[in-house]
Chain A
Amino acid sequence: MKLIEIIRELGLQVANPDVDLDREVCWGYCSDLLSDVMAHAPKDSLWFTIQVHENVIAVALLAEVAGVVITGGRRPEAATLNRAAAERIPVLLTGETTFVSAGRLYRLLTG
């Protein structure tokens, strides 16, 4: 499913609108441990996390995820948004918990 459709369905807020939201999302991954994401997040998945610092972007790039969803109403640091813009990684925000937001994606992708 296209990221742009998922953003609409899940009611996500796009923190850096200047990125490509037309990319394909194949799956999701939930983790707040950065090395775990690099080891196990599938390529082109949407990564759900409560981490907000700029290393999230470095990891998202290396893991080749389609975007990062920061959950629980947390706000990314300014440095995170700058780096996300530079690396063209979509950063999406939700007030919902990781469980609820990822659960909705699971239903969308498998329903």
Chain B
Amino acid sequence: MDRAKEELVLNFQVQGRDFQGAGVAASQIRRVLKQVGFDPQVVRRAGIAAYEAEMNIVIHAYRGTLSARITAQEIEIVAEDEGPGIADIELAMQEGYSTAPPEVREMGFGAGMGLPNIKRCADGLEIASEVGRGTTLRARIVIKGT
């Protein structure tokens, strides 16, 4: 069997505005990465990227999916949602920019740091969005030494 070509795909449904159990999908992804035996730094980066992407669906969108495509060479986190979309992606990427409503800010979300966190954790980040339809975010983490 060719281990280098094996692929593991995890898929989770994420419900907008469901703060109970929010972050569970990212926790599961993190747990699998840990079990598979990835380097702790890789587990940390992928876990944070997955959580921030999941929470952005919970906070800003109506519903979506969070998935992880895991190979020996890279981990790809994909968050796809139905939601309002992002009109100005460059602005959304700026640290401190947030449209999170007050009740969500009270919970400690809405620092406008989620997307910058994902960018810092990932080796590649792509965001595609259509206003009034939804957003797809892809974050890639390359496994060094493969």
Q: Contact residues of A with B, CB < 8 Å?
A: 32-36, 38-39, 49, 51, 53-56, 58-59, 61-62, 64, 79, 87
Contact = CB atoms under 8 A, between A and B. Distances in A.
Interface stretch (B64-72, B85-93, B109-117, B133-141): B109-117
Given A39-B120, A51-B108, A58 B113 contact: no
Q: Tell me the dominant secondary structure on chain B's binding face.
A: helix
Given A34-B111, A61-B27, A55 B19 contact: yes
Given A51-B108, A58-B51, A62-B47, A35 B22 contact: no
A35 B117 contact: yes
B35 interface: no
Contacts of B22: 55, 58
A33 B44 CA distance: 19
Contact of A38 (B24, B30, B48, B112): B48
Given A59-B51, A62-B44, 17 more contacts: A32-B108, A33-B108, A34-B109, A35-B109, A35-B112, A35-B114, A36-B111, A36-B113, A38-B48, A51-B108, A55-B23, A55-B107, A55-B109, A56-B108, A58-B27, A61-B30, A79-B20
Given A34-B111, A39-B120, A51-B107, A58 B23 contact: yes
A54 B20 contact: yes
Interface of B: 19-20, 22-24, 26-27, 30, 44, 47-48, 51-52, 55, 107-114, 116-117, 120
Interface centre among B26, B51, B55, B110 (most CB of A within 10 A): B51
B111 to A, nearest CB: 4
A38 B51 contact: yes
A64 B114 CA distance: 17
Given A55-B22, A58-B26, A49 B108 contact: yes
A55 B117 contact: no
